[in-house]
């Protein structure tokens, strides 16, 4: 994994759980007992709902066809008795604000489970991205409580969870891993729960075990029937050994999340990068200089990383000009962001960058030299060898870009950019606006890209750059996922792009 990557947003959301640059997902499950919807319906728990969503989404997988799996088909399956209750749609409602061109609903579902389980005290499950959202529902193959063990075993086998060597039987094991948090609701399963509904417990939730908000080896008695599938062997092993429970659940749930249609290629495991740019923007200033602004994140898992104080950490950014040459005055110190950040996986701190770069000589890459303590020798981070790459050919200009505040449903968005005029003929210049639209039959969104040509508007503050703009009518973006846009130019046969810029919110 090297920056920049299409999966930078998911890596950010994986790495930062609260505070500055909050990924936003963990807020829905922190602490493990809560739900963003508990105000509407007390007794609900998002961590367990998200895990159930992921299982029910994945349960449409067929080992015979290689179709189904974790593909957000659940959005089209919520009216089925198998998926009874508000959990499916309200989870998707929460997740859709994280959907974008580079974060499918299926990837967000997988990530949500990994974050929720970790935050509930469970194992660290490796995260891979690259899932593709289905455009319709799958087969009705979620196990239901009234079915017998033979049917459950057969359904699990069809989902790719067969009896194995390491884990005696996947059926009791995976059910134990699923039913360690959350509970069953009388409102949805009146045949299984009685006399639980009260004025303070309107959905009549009965927790599976005494630690419904802890991902631990306390196991529900209500599943005794299922645990008999292997003569209770798996359960007695788990009851004796919390470490075995955590490691086997981690492995089984990882496999569940990575069960995807055979055409889908998942990425390598995504782990927090030690040094990573965040919201970095290169722009042309009114005096003809370039300005590099944004943040550098430093992440670590060591004891030193845990005890460091951001304000005492040296973080120095040094860049090469556009011909990859070092020149005088090409380095700057980044200053600690005062708001702390939290991570479930280690310690993350952010440093603000504000570098003025000679507009004549430009920039092509930078490196970061840093340490956890002032007196430590500096660690040289060069992004795997060739530095953190930047291009200074096509620059998005947020300062001028704006949204016409007038319209509520449809608004005019104007995007400004500057493009170098000394590199040959410009054969194409456009903005790719990556947004999301509702789709019939699902709470999940569908990603679309609209291409708008950039029009040449004149000279800029620098003789090297001309100005361009693109105006188009965009739909309102409230709870319509993450909108990003790319500014692209094809010059003398080469494509230059400023990718994944955040949605424009400044009013015109």
Residues 182-201 that bind ligand HEM (CB under 6 A): 182-185, 188-189
- Per DSSP (E only), the strands in 321-440 are 331-333, 335-336, 341-342, 347-357, 365-370, 379-381, 388-389, 394-396, 402-403, 410-420, 426-439
**Residue 60 in contact with ligand HEM, rule: CB under 6 A:** no
Identify the residue whose tokens are 């999340």: 257
Please name the residues in contact with 385: beta carbons below 8 A apart, sequence gap of 6 or more.
Answer: none
Piece in contact with ligand HEM (CB under 6 A), picked from 44-52, 64-72, 118-126, 496-504: 44-52
Piece in contact with ligand HEM (CB under 6 A), picked from 25-33, 171-179, 279-287, 416-424: 171-179
Q: Of the candidates 15, 52, 122, 366, which one interacts with ligand HEM according to CB under 6 A? A: 52
Q: Of the candidates 105, 175, 275, 344, which one interacts with ligand HEM according to CB under 6 A? A: 175
User: Rounded to an integer, what distance in angstroms lies between the CA atom of residue 93 and that of residue 16?
Assistant: 21
Q: Which long-range contacts (CB under 8 A, 24 or more apart) does 38-41 make?
A: 41/86, 41/202, 41/203
Query: In terms of CB distance, is 172 or 359 closer to ligand HEM?
Result: 172
Q: Of the candidates 181, 292, 355, 503, which one interacts with ligand HEM according to CB under 6 A? A: 181
Query: In terms of CB distance, is 224 or 399 closer to ligand HEM?
Result: 224
Query: In terms of CB distance, is 23 or 122 closer to ligand HEM?
Result: 122
Q: How far is the CB of 251 from ligand HEM (least distance, A)?
A: 12
Residues 424-463 that bind ligand HEM (CB under 6 A): none
Q: How far is the CB of 437 from ligand HEM (least distance, A)?
A: 29
Identify the residue whose tokens are 């959990």: 87
Piece in contact with ligand HEM (CB under 6 A), picked from 41-49, 213-221, 295-303, 433-441: 41-49
Query: In terms of CB distance, is 213 or 392 closer to ligand HEM?
Result: 213
Query: In terms of CB distance, is 258 or 501 closer to ligand HEM?
Result: 258
Report which of 113, 126, 25, 120 is spatially closest to residue 74, judged by C-alpha positions.
113
Query: In terms of CB distance, is 38 or 378 closer to ligand HEM?
Result: 38
Number of residues that bind ligand HEM (CB under 6 A): 25
Q: How far is the CB of 96 from ligand HEM (least distance, A)?
A: 19
Q: Which residues of 373-393 are buried (b: 16+ CB within 10 A; e: fewer)?
A: eeeeeeeebebeeebbebbbb
**Residue 177 in contact with ligand HEM, rule: CB under 6 A:** yes
Q: Of the candidates 178, 261, 272, 300, which one interacts with ligand HEM according to CB under 6 A? A: 178
Q: How far is the CB of 72 from ligand HEM (least distance, A)?
A: 17
Residues 92-151 that bind ligand HEM (CB under 6 A): 143-145
**Residue 152 in contact with ligand HEM, rule: CB under 6 A:** yes
Residues 210-269 that bind ligand HEM (CB under 6 A): 226
Query: In terms of CB distance, is 185 or 482 closer to ligand HEM?
Result: 185
Query: In terms of CB distance, is 222 or 412 closer to ligand HEM?
Result: 222
467 in Cβ contact with 401 (< 8 Å): no
Query: In terms of CB distance, is 153 or 383 closer to ligand HEM?
Result: 153
Q: Of the candidates 25, 67, 72, 87, which one interacts with ligand HEM according to CB under 6 A? A: 87
Query: In terms of CB distance, is 29 or 174 closer to ligand HEM?
Result: 174
Q: Which long-range contacts (CB under 8 A, 24 or more apart) does 408-413 make?
A: 408/476, 409/475, 409/476, 410/473, 410/474, 410/475, 410/476, 411/473, 411/474, 411/476, 412/471, 412/472, 412/473, 412/474, 412/508, 413/471, 413/472, 413/473, 413/474, 413/504
**Residue 49 in contact with ligand HEM, rule: CB under 6 A:** yes
**Residue 41 in contact with ligand HEM, rule: CB under 6 A:** no
Identify the residue whose tokens are 């319209």: 407
User: Rounded to an integer, what distance in angstroms lies between the CA atom of residue 200 and that of residue 182?
Assistant: 17
Piece in contact with ligand HEM (CB under 6 A), picked from 45-53, 304-312, 391-399, 443-451: 45-53
Please name the residues in contact with 427: beta carbons below 8 A apart, sequence gap of 6 or more.
Answer: 490, 491, 493
Helix (H, G, I), strand (E, B) or coil at 476: coil
Q: Which long-range contacts (CB under 8 A, 24 or more apart) does 448-456 make?
A: 449/101, 450/474, 452/415, 453/429, 454/415, 454/417, 454/419, 454/429, 454/430, 454/487, 454/489, 456/429
User: Rounded to an integer, what distance in angstroms lies between the CA atom of residue 353 and that of residue 333?
Assistant: 7
Q: Is the dihedral of CA 290, 295, 299, 304 positive or negative?
A: positive
Query: In terms of CB distance, is 70 or 177 closer to ligand HEM?
Result: 177
Query: In terms of CB distance, is 252 or 284 closer to ligand HEM?
Result: 252
User: Rounded to an integer, what distance in angstroms lies between the CA atom of residue 274 and that of residue 301?
Assistant: 9
Q: How far is the CB of 49 from ligand HEM (least distance, A)?
A: 5
472 in Cβ contact with 381 (< 8 Å): no
R_g of the chain, CA atoms, integer Å: 26
Q: Of the candidates 30, 33, 48, 60, which one interacts with ligand HEM according to CB under 6 A? A: 48
> Where does this chain bind ligand HEM (CB under 6 A)?
45, 48-49, 51-52, 55, 85, 87, 143-145, 152, 174-175, 177-179, 181-185, 188-189, 226
């Amino acid at each position: 994994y090297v920056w920049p990557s299409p999966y930078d947003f998911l890596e950010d959301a994986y790495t930062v759980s609260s505070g500055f640059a909050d990924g936003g997902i963990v807020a829905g499950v922190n602490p493990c007992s809560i739900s963003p919807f508990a105000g509407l319906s007390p007794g609900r728990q998002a961590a367990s709902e998200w895990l159930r969503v992921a299982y029910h989404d994945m349960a449409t997988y067929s080992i015979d066809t290689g179709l189904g799996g974790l593909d957000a088909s659940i959005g089209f399956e919520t009216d089925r008795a198998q998926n009874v209750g508000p959990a499916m749609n309200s989870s998707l409602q929460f997740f859709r604000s994280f959907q974008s061109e580079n974060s499918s609903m299926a990837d967000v579902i997988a990530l949500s489970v990994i974050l929720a389980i970790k935050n509930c005290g469970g194992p660290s499950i490796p995260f891979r991205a690259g899932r593709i959202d289905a455009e319709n529902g799958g087969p009705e193959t979620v196990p239901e409580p009234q079915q017998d063990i033979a049917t459950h075993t057969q359904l699990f086998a069809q989902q790719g969870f067969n009896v194995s060597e390491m884990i005696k039987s996947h059926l009791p094991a995976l059910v134990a891993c699923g039913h360690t948090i959350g509970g069953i609701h009388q409102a949805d399963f009146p045949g299984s729960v009685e006399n639980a509904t009260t004025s303070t417990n309107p959905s009549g939730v009965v927790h599976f075990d005494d630690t419904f908000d802890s991902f631990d080896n306390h196991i529900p008695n209500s599943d005794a029937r299922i645990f008999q599938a292997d003569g209770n062997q798996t359960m007695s092993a788990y009851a004796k050994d919390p470490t075995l429970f955590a490691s086997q659940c981690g492995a089984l749930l990882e496999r569940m999340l990575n069960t995807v249609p055979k055409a889908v290629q998942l990425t390598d495991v995504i782990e927090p990068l030690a040094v990573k740019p965040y919201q970095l923007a290169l722009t042309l200033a009114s005096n003809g200089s370039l300005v590099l602004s944004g943040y550098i994140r430093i992440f670590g898992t060591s004891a030193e990383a845990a005890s460091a104080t951001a304000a005492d950490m040296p973080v120095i950014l040094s860049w090469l000009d556009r011909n990859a040459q070092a020149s005088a005055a090409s380095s700057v110190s980044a200053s600690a962001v005062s708001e702390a950040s939290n991570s479930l996986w280690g310690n993350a701190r952010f440093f603000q960058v504000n570098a003025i770069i000679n507009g004549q000589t430009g920039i092509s890459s930078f490196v970061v030299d840093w340490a956890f303590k002032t007196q430590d020798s500096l660690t040289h981070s060069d992004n795997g060898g060739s530095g953190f790459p930047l291009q200074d050919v096509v620059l998005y200009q947020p300062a001028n870009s704006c949204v016409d505040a007038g319209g509520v449903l449809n608004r005019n968005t104007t995007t400004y950019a500057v493009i170098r005029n000394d590199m040959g003929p410009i054969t194409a210049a456009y903005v790719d606006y990556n947004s999301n639209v509702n789709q019939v039959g699902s709470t999940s969104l569908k990603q679309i890209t609209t291409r708008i040509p950039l029009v040449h508007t004149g000279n800029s503050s620098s003789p090297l750059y001309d100005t361009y703009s693109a105006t188009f009518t965009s739909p309102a973006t409230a709870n319509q996922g993450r909108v990003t846009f790319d500014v692209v130019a094809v010059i003398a046969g080469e494509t230059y792009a400023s990718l994944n810029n955040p949605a424009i919110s400044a009013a015109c």
